[in-house]
Amino acid sequence: MKDLISRNLDHMTPEEFEASLPELFEAGGGAISNDPRFATFFAANPNCAALVRDLEAIAEQARSLFEPIHDPSDAVWSNIASRLKDGIHNDGDES
């Protein structure tokens, strides 16, 4: 974050804030809406606050696309192993 910590965040313009968003999200781990350093700025700039909440929601949804809902059951693994075994036997019988 280029000197963002040393800046007076309460006097940042919306344009400066939007230009800093990629760095802010990277440094904040994708969550900055609850960062107390921005409380006054967000209160004075509700559009920026809404933008950040929207971006955080989009990022959370994108992350969830890559997370498995649950691990496959033992029956699934057993079925895979059985089919692989059958495939090996079938390949050997055809040659």
Q: Model confidence over 18-34: pLDDT tens digits? A: 998 888 888 877 678 98
| Token couple for 51 | 């933008």
The pair phi, psi for residue 3, each rounded to 5°, is 50, 20
| Token couple for 50 | 């809404």
d(CA 87, CA 94): 11
Q: Model confidence over 7-16: pLDDT tens digits? A: 677 788 999 9
d(CA 89, CA 30): 51
pTM: 0.61
Q: Model confidence over 38-94: pLDDT tens digits? A: 899 999 999 999 999 999 999 888 888 876 677 778 888 888 888 888 877 665 555
The pair phi, psi for residue 68, each rounded to 5°, is -65, 145
What pLDDT is stored for residue 1 in this prediction? 47
What pLDDT is stored for residue 85 in this prediction? 85
